[in-house]
Amino acid sequence: MSWTRMQMAERLVREFQDGWVVNLGVGMPTMIADVPMGDRDIIFHAENGVIGYGAVCAPGTEDLNLVNAGGQNVVLNPGASIVHHADSFALIRGGRMDVTVMGAYEVAANGDFANWKLKGAKGGGIGGAMDLAASAQRVFIMLEHRTRDGASRLLPRCSLPITAAGVVTLVVTDLGLFAPLGEGFALRDLAPGVTLEEVRAATACPIIA
Amino acid sequence: MSWTRMQMAERLVREFQDGWVVNLGVGMPTMIADVPMGDRDIIFHAENGVIGYGAVCAPGTEDLNLVNAGGQNVVLNPGASIVHHADSFALIRGGRMDVTVMGAYEVAANGDFANWKLKGAKGGGIGGAMDLAASAQRVFIMLEHRTRDGASRLLPRCSLPITAAGVVTLVVTDLGLFAPLGEGFALRDLAPGVTLEEVRAATACPIIA
Amino acid sequence: MARNKTYPDFDAAVADIPDGAVIAIGGFAGPGTPYNLIAALARRGAKRLTCIANTTGGAHKPRMPDIGMLVENGQVAKVICSFTAATRASDVLPFTKYYESGEVEAEIVPQGTLAERLRAAGAGIPAFYTPTAVGTELAEGRETREINGRRYLLEYALPVDFAFIRAARADSTGNLRFHRSQRNFNPLMAMAAKTTIVEVEEDILPAGAIDADDVHTMGLVVHRLIRVPPPPMGLWTRKREVAR
Amino acid sequence: MARNKTYPDFDAAVADIPDGAVIAIGGFAGPGTPYNLIAALARRGAKRLTCIANTTGGAHKPRMPDIGMLVENGQVAKVICSFTAATRASDVLPFTKYYESGEVEAEIVPQGTLAERLRAAGAGIPAFYTPTAVGTELAEGRETREINGRRYLLEYALPVDFAFIRAARADSTGNLRFHRSQRNFNPLMAMAAKTTIVEVEEDILPAGAIDADDVHTMGLVVHRLIRVPPPPMGLWTRKREVAR
């Protein structure tokens, strides 16, 4: 047993506090906007200047000129506003994001993470990840614990070029919830049916339980 | 005989070219918006973010939340737009002003001018003058040729702290129209009834006719 | 986005402003000036303030609440502005004598640089280069740099604790609309501030009443809203209302 | 303000773009992308272009006119963007192989830095400091500076010869309105460019039809307007119209 991607999203959402401004990256994190927030008032910010968006539109109801960072057509919640890219990243660099949630290839015990460039590639895809990682109040990472080849994505140090240094607050994987501690990761929560031994076996650096 | 302030404004307006964006400073230059432009399409920009304003309002017709740089209630021409101060000065520093027209205490043959600080004062009033002077395509200065004591305001070098160095394009005074040439001013036009000898007698540096 | 940011009155909205706070005050030649918040700050009496604004107030009558008034009240340690004196020698600003005598410190900044320093603070840009003031007394002893053959002055961001601004319209989430030249410094100060307090000229609207494309300042950077009571109860809703 | 900036067609609007020009192209994931102007530039055939955009185009079908197409057409020397490849290894961008093989140069820039460098160009700010990319491969060998205890990277303005943008609405003086996330980079690119060319989704309105408080991009920085013809004559007015 382990967490599905939706359960990973739900587990991270439990960490959100009332009133937070949340930026969701492309890929897995987009699912977070579909998780019920209960009575918490959460504002979603997309890097393309959409403040206060909500769920993905039902087919046929889309406004084709309204997308989130992942290019999905979304709805606007009451109180939403639109700004241009410079103002959108002004809010990001200005520290107005309480948290950014991003996917990654690797995350390291020293708080570094890598999500823009693959091994041996000349270029990559940065998008807004470096700006968000450098300036959000918290950086939450969502990723599968292991690669398809079974290698740990939680590492002592990143092997790929990093997106930002020492910024990661929390990491959720299919196996659990973790916080980088310098030389290893603190285990904050275990997926149901997963044991500490399984996590340790799957991880290339110490897990502090 | 010499030019009145309105005639000074009219003389400068003859220099405006169709399509120009014109910024008018506080004081004497505000009169320029009241001079007929003929078939020239001139856009007036005020430093407080008003683009495309026109004449001062008739009493009783004012919008009290709409002022030009001098605090006068003005009308908006069709096609007008409003921006905030950072965007307004972005347009200024970005070189979008074809000309700025400013008053001054002194103007120098080397193209310097002074309009923000009086002799012996600790502070002064800069407003947008330094930004406009540094970045407008042309700087036109309007001032009385002499102080109340009869001293020349056209000088070899400014005696007061300058607003910007070497930027002045044209100078209009009650006596004529001038262009700084380094060591003196070129005479471009004489007010009616004023002689070259009178101008030379009133000016503390060479006048090249 | 449903949080209601409305405060009951001006005094409640400024009640936590401590001594030593950095306050940015919007407005340009009247429009957009938060007169009621300035008056509330005078009543609150917080001291050793740093005030950031285009001017310290005009020489006009009737006198409106302005930084000069806070200075006279002994509340101000420093002013950062583009005018410490009027350009016309005949206009005497109340502030000028306090500055000339050394009772209050002032940093005089070109208006565009002031706007850009506030914008930079809100945008997480700690410093930038500008052509403004190069070659003048203001640049003496300061760092300059040549870029593509032109010389520029290094300027630093100007972060703010509390912004006082005035808007025409707001919704309960803090989205704002300004009318005409009321906009001026107000959006920048809201972006630059930890806490933005807004006096609003019209009834505060429900969330969503301002279309997302029509918002001038996003509620994300707005924290407290106070409706300016309609005249005759309200103070200083417009210059004219005072002048009558 | 009465000048009419309307052009008869897309080809006329790009007819003077020379070889070697720097072109900024708006749009983010579809909305605000000037597809018709990109197609016209492909027909024009200008070469050795530098293209600035968030991406070089998507991996989606049906394919829309994009920078990748100009690259395949042999018109592009350099791209400045935040993606030279998709982040998902399974999505292959047409551009990537041209870059990996060295046929086309690329400068990869974080999206917020790209936006701010364009904004700086439009604002007469030649350079600024940002926290983004500090400690990464992108900062290697470049100038950094510590300000108030944090390290920042020096970034330079990105001036533009021609901006291609798409708006929902325009008046004849060039004042623009964008609909929803169509806004994105478009206002910044208009500010940064010597010449701004706009494809407009609705009929171009008379001067004054857009209220001064409602203008997103001021006509002062807009030079040429072309109405996107309504379907079925028009090309790519919306993704859906192509996909049908």
Chain segment D110-119, per-residue pLDDT in tens: 999 999 999 9
- Residue entry with tokens 């809201």: C190
How far apart CA A161 and CA C112 sit, in angstroms, is 39
Mean predicted confidence (pLDDT) in D210-238: 83
> Which of the following is catalytic: B47, B62, B106, B197?
B47
Q: Across residues D63-77, what is the average pLDDT?
A: 93
Tell me, yes or no, if C126 comes closer than 8 A to chain A by beta carbon: no
Give D21 or A120, the one with higher predicted confidence.
D21
What are D206-222's pLDDT values in tens digits?
A: 999 999 999 999 999 99
Place of tokens 């690797």: A106
Cα D167 to Cα D183: distance, rounded to the nearest angstrom: 8
Q: What per-residue confidence (pLDDT) applies to C3? A: 66
Q: What is the mean pLDDT of residues A45-67?
A: 94
Subunits in contact with chain D (3 or more CB pairs closer than 8 Å): A, B, C
Residue C36, H or E segment: helix C35-44
Residue C6's alpha-carbon distances to A196, C38, C232, in angstroms, are 49, 18, 21
Quote the pLDDT of residue C244: 31
Token pair for C154 = 């290094």
Q: Would you call C211 an interface residue with chain D, using a CB distance cutoff of 8 Å?
A: no
Average pLDDT over residues A16-25: 96
- List, as one string, the DSSP characters of B26-62: SSGGGGGGGS--TT---EEEETTTEEEEEEEPPTT--
Q: Which residues contact C230 (CB under 8 A, 6 or more apart)?
A: C237
> What is the rounded distance in angstroms from the CA atom of residue A205 to the CA atom of residue D89?
26
Q: Write out the two tokens for B8.
A: 């000074």
**Of all residues in chain B, what percent carry a pLDDT higher than 90?**
94
Q: D167 vs D27, D181, D231, D237, CA distance in Å?
A: 10, 11, 17, 11
Mean pLDDT, to the nearest integer, of B76-90?
98
> Does residue D242 surpass a pLDDT of 50?
no
Structure tokens at A89: 């990243």
List the A106-108 sheet strands across, edge first. A113-114, A106-108, A154-155
- The widest CA-to-CA distance across chain D, in whole angstroms, is 59
Structure-block tokens of residue C244: 């009558």
Q: How far is Cα of residue B129 from the mean position of the Cα atoms in its chain?
A: 10
B47 is catalytic: yes
Q: Which of D160, D182, D159, D184 is nearest to D169 (CA)?
A: D182
* pLDDT at residue D89 greater than cutoff 80: no
- Mean per-residue pLDDT of chain A: 96
d(CA D130, CA D139): 11
- pLDDT of D59 > 80? The answer is no
Residue B80 to residue D1, Cβ atoms within 8 A? yes
- Cα(D242)–Cα(D244) distance, integer angstroms: 6
Lookup: tokens for B208: 């090249």
Query: Which pLDDT tens digit goes with each residue over B26-41?
Result: 989 999 998 999 999 9
**pLDDT, mean over chain B:** 96
pLDDT recorded at residue C227: 95
10-residue averages of pLDDT along chain C (244 residues): 80 98 96 95 98 86 87 97 83 85 96 98 98 98 98 98 97 97 98 98 95 98 94 48 35
C in contact with D (at least 3 C-beta pairs within 8 A): yes
Q: B18, B44, B81: best mutation site toward chain D, by most D Cβ within 10 Å?
A: B81
- Beta-strand relationship, B74-82 and B50-56: antiparallel
Q: Under an 8 A CB cutoff, do A84 and D130 touch?
A: no
Please list every residue in chain B whose beta carbon sits closer than 8 Å to the beta carbon of residue D2.
41, 78-79
Residue B153 Cα, gap to closest chain D Cα (Å): 31
| Chain C residues within 8 A of A52 when measuring between CB atoms | 1, 173, 212
What's the mean pLDDT in D56-66? 80
Per CB-CB distance under 8 Å, the chain A contacts of C175 are: 79, 81
Q: How far is C109 from chain A (nearest CA, A)?
A: 22
- Write out pLDDT tens, residues B103-117: 999 999 999 999 999
To the nearest whole percent, how much of chain A has pLDDT over 90? 94
Query: How does DSSP classify residue A69?
Result: T
**What does the alpha-carbon distance between residue B10 and residue D132 come to, in Å, rounded to a whole number?**
51
Please state the ipTM of this predicted complex.
Answer: 0.97
> Which residues of chain C have a CB within 8 Å of the CB of B164?
134-136
Window 46-65 of D, Cβ < 8 Å to A: 54, 58
Q: Which residue has the tokens 């410094």?
A: C185
Q: Which of C99, C116, C136 sits opposite B163 (nearest CB)?
A: C136
Q: List Cβ<8 Å contacts ≥24 apart for B14-21.
A: B15/B140, B15/B170, B16/B40, B16/B42, B16/B99, B17/B98, B18/B42, B19/B98, B19/D3, B20/B98, B20/B99, B21/B45, B21/B96, B21/B97, B21/B98, B21/D220
> What distance in Å separates the CA atoms of residue A48 and residue D215, rounded to the nearest whole number?
19
DSSP letters of A110-178? TS-EE-S--TT-S--B-TTHHHHHHHSS-EEEE--SB-TTS-BSEESS-SSPPSBSS-EEEEE-SSEEE
**CA distance readout (Å), A175 to A1, A5, A112, D165:** 9, 11, 20, 46
Q: Kindly state whether C124 is in contact with chain D, defined as any CB-CB distance less than 8 angstroms.
A: yes
d(CA D202, CA D170): 8
Distance from the Cα of residue A11 to its chain's centroid: 12
If we measure between CA atoms, which residue out of A205, A135, A134, A124 comes closest to residue A160?
A124
Distance (Å, rounded) from C-alpha D190 to C-alpha D219? 10
| Packed helices C111-122 and B85-93: angle between N→C axes, nearest 10 degrees | 120
Interface contact flag, D183 A49, Cβ < 8 Å:
yes
Q: What is the mean pLDDT of residues D178-189?
A: 97
Residue positions counted in chain B = 209
